[in-house]
Amino acid sequence: MLKFKNIIEKSYNTQICSMQQIQGGWSALAYRIRLAKGDFFLKVYEKHRHTAKEWISRIDEYMPVLIALNGNDRLRGKIVAPVLTADGKYKVENDDYVFILFPFIEGNTPGSDKLTEDEQRCLSEIVAELHSYKESDFPLLKNREDFDTKICEDLSQLIFQEDLQDTYLKNALIQYQEYLYCGMDEMKGLAQTLCDERPEFVLCHTDLHGWNLLQAEQLVLLDWEGLKLAPAEADLFSFSEGFFYDYAWNAFTAGYQNVRPDYSLNKNAMAFYRVRRRLEDILEFARSILFDGLSEDEKDISMNHLRRECIALQQLLQAR
């Protein structure tokens, strides 16, 4: 922690009064830092972590867009823009870490709790406003949906890996192999259909769930690593059956369509994002178990998550 403290003090030309590690997300470590001018939230990405590499690679893509979005009066205060360094940069990095500093917002994370009706309405307004931005608004944003199916190749290689050392992981993948392959086949078919359809792209967060929200004076949407141009369903699937906010579908879509009255659901895009999210989570948990040097307790937790996602994929496919 001391080496982090020295880097931050030098980069932001300030002195840290206190620094406390707090619960972070999937992609990074998190610290609450107290300075003379207030409290701040420090996000620390570990470059050696396999599961953090993709998130780190996206920082220079999404951060300038996030700063621009903070200039929107209807989004200001509902998203969190970074604090710039003494020389005007939005990140600090060395050989091992990437650091990004944000204002600390006092509030509660809904997590797995149900959103209140007011929170559902606020979230629908944030997402709809975000989706009001089209490709022409951010022509330099390279992170665009291409309906890539490389995840299927990666997952297939993992299932077929004969020398897979982790027996528990291997048994879990074999147990759900039929549904994994069905899911991959469905994803590939939907990807080709969407490439042919060429649906409208809007600016999407792509990771809407309770751990990326904060209820403060108003609802705040956090963790923008997945920001990309994509069909609106890249966000809206989170409100579909079996996902994070399925109970809020009616209230959310009513509020959403008040802002975007011309929107109509693309069923193919919705199906694509539903199955892809299940496969993505399965692959990420498997990779973490294999490559992130987890303790036995951490590995057990990841295995439970992986099995839960496999069961969810099975249920999704059986319902179609």
Residues 128 and 40 in one domain: no
Q: What is the CATH number of the domain that holds 70?
A: 3.30.200.20
Q: 18 with 126, same domain?
A: no
Mean pLDDT of 149-163: 82
- The answer on pLDDT for 51 being more than 90 is no
SS3 string, 152-164, reads HHHHHHHHHCCCC
* 253-289 confidence digits (pLDDT tens): 999 999 999 999 999 999 999 999 999 999 989 888 8
Q: Decide if 206 is inside a domain.
A: yes
Looking up residue 184, the CATH number of its domain turns out to be: 3.90.1200.10
> 24: closest CA among 223, 283, 166, 290?
223
Q: Do 234 and 303 belong together in one domain?
A: yes
- Cα–Cα separations (whole angstroms), residue 164 to 89, 190, 287: 42, 30, 12
- The H or E element spanning position 97 is strand 97-103
Query: Does 299 lie in the same domain as 243?
Result: yes
Task: Provide the whole-model pTM.
Answer: 0.87
123 and 52 belong to one structural domain: no
Question: Are 229 and 136 within one domain?
Answer: yes
Q: What separation in angstroms does the CA of 225 have from each of 28, 76, 156, 206, 283?
A: 11, 18, 26, 9, 18
Residue 175 pLDDT grade (very low, low, confident, very high; cuts 50, 70, 90):
confident
Q: Which among 73, 129, 72, 75 is positioned nearest to 258, based on CA atoms?
A: 129
Cβ neighbour number for residue 72 with a 10 Å cutoff: 14
pLDDT tens per residue across span 191-210: 999 999 999 999 999 999 99
User: Is residue 169 situated within a structural domain?
Assistant: no
Per-residue pLDDT band at 163 (split at 50, 70, 90): low
Residue 68 belongs to domain spanning: 2-103
Asked whether residue 153 is domain-assigned, the answer is no
- Whether 126 and 59 map to the same domain: the answer is no
Q: Which of 134-143, 163-172, 230-239 has the lowest mean pLDDT?
A: 163-172
How many C-beta atoms lie closer than 10 Å to residue 160's C-beta?
10
Among candidate residues 57, 50, 48, 58, the one with its CA nearest the CA of residue 97: 48
Q: Are residues 241 and 187 in the same domain?
A: yes
Residue 82: inside a domain: yes
Q: What is the rounded average pLDDT of the residues 184-197? A: 97
Phi, psi angles (nearest 5°) of residue 43: -105, 130
* Residue 281 φ then ψ, to 5°: -65, -40
Question: 193 and 250: one domain?
Answer: yes
Distance, CA of 49 to CA of 47 (rounded, Å) = 6
The pLDDT of 1-18, averaged and rounded, is 89
Q: Are 302 and 294 in contact (CB under 8 A)?
A: yes
**Mean pLDDT of all residues in the chain?**
91
132 domain residue, yes or no: yes
- Say how many domains are in the chain: 2
Is the same domain home to 61 and 143?
no
Residues 256, 218 share a domain: yes
Residue 159 lies in a domain: no
Identity at 112, one-letter amino acid code:
S
Query: Quick check: is 162 in a domain?
Result: no
Residue 9 within a domain:
yes
Rounded Cα distance, 70 and 170, in Å: 45
Whether residue 186 is found in the same domain as residue 279: yes
